[in-house]
Structures are given as C-alpha cells and as structure tokens.
C-alpha cells in the first residue's frame, strides 16, 4: 500500500475506479461464497462500481477471503496475497473470516483470515448479505483514493 510516488498515486486512483476482485474460499461453508458470487449477478451487480471478478491473483487488486483459516489453506492464502501486485487490499467476508466464527472451537481452524494475511476491512454476518459485501468493498476502495 506504500505508494507515494506520482505513478503509485495515479495507480491508486485508477484502481479505485476499477478494482479487480479475487475471491478465495478458505474453509467457509459456501454461504458467504455464494453471496460473493451473488454480488456479481444482475440484481446486485457490483460491476456498476467498476469491479470485475478475476480468477488470476496477478490481475487482482482486492482479495476477498471467506471462511476461516486452517493449516492447509494458510500457505494458499499467503501465496495468493503475495502474487497480487501492489497496491492491494484484503477484505474478510463473514463471521468465519473475521474471527473464525461458529467454527472457532473446531480443532482444524486456526482463526480468521488475519492468521494468514493482513486484513484491511472486515464484513460481518453469517452469511454476510450481498449489501454488506458491496458496502465493504466500496468503503475499502475509499482507502485507495
């Protein structure tokens, strides 16, 4: 996020108008995942904010993590984060990604997304509603300006 050069500032400005979103399902129950996908579909249509869903971390500006982190997906989330170019944002979607949620006590859950990567914004809810997710993404984009 440390972009103080002219070019860096310009990049931030552009990205805030057209963030590319990468979604990764940690150990979520799918509830938040289908709500993230629902954001992209005609009713909620997050594309009106310029957001585009991408499957490639190297094209992505915003990482949406749903679900808690376990020992097996920890390196995956870290790797995805490292592959994303700067400046980048991470948003944790749903109770599980925020804290571990209902599965916090499970033996195979380390905790929320913060266990793996620095999280900039948290969207609570179980499952997080699309309105909340869009709100989170739009607020997070404010950080780019």
Partner 1 sequence: MGKRTVMPFGPQHPVLPEPIHLDLVLEDEIVKEAVPSIGFVHRGLEKLVEKKDFMEYVYVAERICGICSFMHGMGYCMAVEQVMGIEVPKRAVFLRTVWAELSRVHSHLLWMGLMADAIGFESLFMHSWRLREYVLDMFDMTTGGRVIFSACKIGGVRRDIDAEKMKRFLDALGKVEDGLHEIAGTFAADHSISHRLTGLGVLTKAEAEDLGALGPVARASGIGFDARTHGYAAYGDLKVNVQTEQSGDCMARASVRIRELYEAIRLIRLCAEIMPDGPTETKVTGNPNGESFARLEQPRGEVLYYVKGGGGKFLERMRCRTPTFANLPALLEMLKGAELADVPVLILTIDPCISCTER
Partner 2 sequence: MKVTQEFTDIQQMDLLNKTLDMKNAGYRLAQICASRDTAGCFVLLYTFEKDGCLVSLRFINGGEPIESIGWLYGYAFLYENEMKDLFGMKVINMNMDFGGRFYQTAQPAPFTCGKNEGAEMDG
**Which residues sit at the interface with partner 1, rule CB under 8 A?**
23-35, 37-38, 41-43, 54-57, 67-68, 70, 72-73, 76, 80, 102-103, 105-109, 126-127, 129
Q: Looking only at residues 4 through 63 of this chain, which bind partner 2 when binding is defined by CB under 8 A?
A: none
Give 89 or 110: the residue with its C-beta nearer to partner 2: 110
Tokens of 61: 């500006």
Give 34 or 71: the residue with its C-beta nearer to partner 2: 71
As a whole number of angstroms, the distance between CA 43 and CA 46 comes to 9
Q: Does 107 bind partner 2 (CB under 8 A)?
A: yes
Query: Measuring CA to CA, which residue among 91, 96, 83 is closest to residue 57?
Result: 83
73 binds, among partner 1, partner 2, none (CB under 5 to 8 A by kind): partner 1
Tokens of 97: 């990604």
Give 6 or 107: the residue with its C-beta nearer to partner 1: 107
As a whole number of angstroms, the distance between CA 101 and CA 96 comes to 4
Q: Looking only at residues 58 through 77 of this chain, which bind partner 2 when binding is defined by CB under 8 A?
A: 70-72
Give the number of C-alpha atoms closer than 13 A to the C-alpha of residue 33, restricted to the C-beta side.
10
As a whole number of angstroms, the distance between CA 116 and CA 104 comes to 15
16 binds, among partner 2, partner 1, none (CB under 5 to 8 A by kind): none
Dmax over Cα atoms in the chain, in whole Å?
48
Q: Which residues bind partner 2 (CB under 8 A)?
A: 70-72, 107-108, 110
């Amino acid at each position: 996020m440390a972009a103080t050069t002219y070019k860096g500032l310009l990049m931030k400005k552009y990205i805030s108008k057209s963030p590319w979103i990468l979604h990764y399902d940690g150990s979520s129950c799918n509830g938040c995942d289908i709500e993230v996908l629902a954001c992209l579909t005609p009713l909620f249509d997050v594309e009106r904010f310029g957001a585009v869903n991408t499957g490639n971390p190297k094209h992505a500006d915003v990482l949406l993590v749903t679900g808690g982190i376990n020992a097996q997906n920890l390196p995956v989330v870290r790797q995805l984060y490292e592959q994303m170019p700067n400046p980048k944002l991470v948003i944790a979607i749903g109770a599980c990604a925020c804290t571990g949620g209902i599965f916090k006590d499970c033996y195979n859950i380390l905790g929320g997304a913060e266990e793996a990567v620095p999280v900039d914004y948290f969207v609570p809810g179980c499952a997080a509603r699309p309105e909340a997710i869009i709100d989170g993404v739009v607020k997070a984009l404010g950080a780019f300006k």
